Amino acid sequence: MEELLLAWFAEHGRKLPWRGTRDPYAILVSEIMLQQTQVTRVVPRVLESLEGLPPVELLAVASPADAIRAWQGLGYNRRAVALHRAARLVAEHGWPDDLTELPGVGPYTAAAIGNFAFSRPLLPVDVNVARVLSRTGGRFGPRAAQALFDLGATICLARIPRCGGCPLADACPSVSCRYEPERKQGPFEGSFRQRRARVLRLVAAEPRAVELDPEALESLVADGLVVVDHGRATLPS
């Protein structure tokens, strides 16, 4: 199965900007950006980041406020704080052998950085990869990681797979199956997430009174995205 998949990937693989580097810092940035965010939203920001990416040492000496402001528009802003903390650890101590020691880096992201930056024999398993593995029952090695990502994202879709275009269809026990829709997150419009994003956007522009939206503000403070001092809300310095 793996050779069929790799042949398909060579012809149909997505041209994504982070696939052209083995710099662990650039891969860390792109992987954290991709957490819980669609690829189409991330690509322009990754291109921007990779073109003017400051060395990890410069991000490390930047303030958390600068990291949060640079992150605006990608959502899940705690990732900006985690990336900033990870950069500080790398600048001070280098890349750890156990990459999950870095803030914001779980087993999947650690495997992705390990594979793509350090050539470790690890297969990163995200939702798309897990779906392909489960449906095909195939065994794939680390070199098939990017191909598995693309097959899961473009062909082996969650509800209605496009089996007619799948290079593994002839050997797949799940061919032509249909699946129940996965539970989706509620709409952003009118949500608490939207309220948090609005408050953070306002505080990023200038310090604000704590009466702005007390519930959303409390949540942002708990996540380390905002600090309150003398009745004013500001970004962490």
Amino acid at 172: C
Q: What is the DSSP letter of 186?
A: P
Angstrom distance (rounded) from CA 45 to CA 49:
6
Concatenated DSSP letters for 4-23?
HHHHHHHHH----GGGG---
What is the distance between the terminal CA atoms of the chain, rounded to a whole angstrom? Answer: 52
Helices (H), 52-136: 56-61, 64-71, 78-93, 107-118, 127-136
User: Which of 97, 107, 108, 68 has the alpha carbon at shortest distance from 85?
Assistant: 68
User: Are 16 and 145 contacting, i.e. CB atoms less than 8 angstroms apart?
Assistant: no
Active-site residue (options: 2, 3, 31, 211): 31
d(CA 237, CA 227): 9
Measured distance CA(28)–CA(20) in Å, rounded = 14
Q: Does the active-site annotation cover 31? A: yes
CA distance 91 to 112: 20
Q: Is the Cβ–Cβ distance between 91 and 60 less than 8 Å?
A: yes
Residues carrying an active site annotation: 31
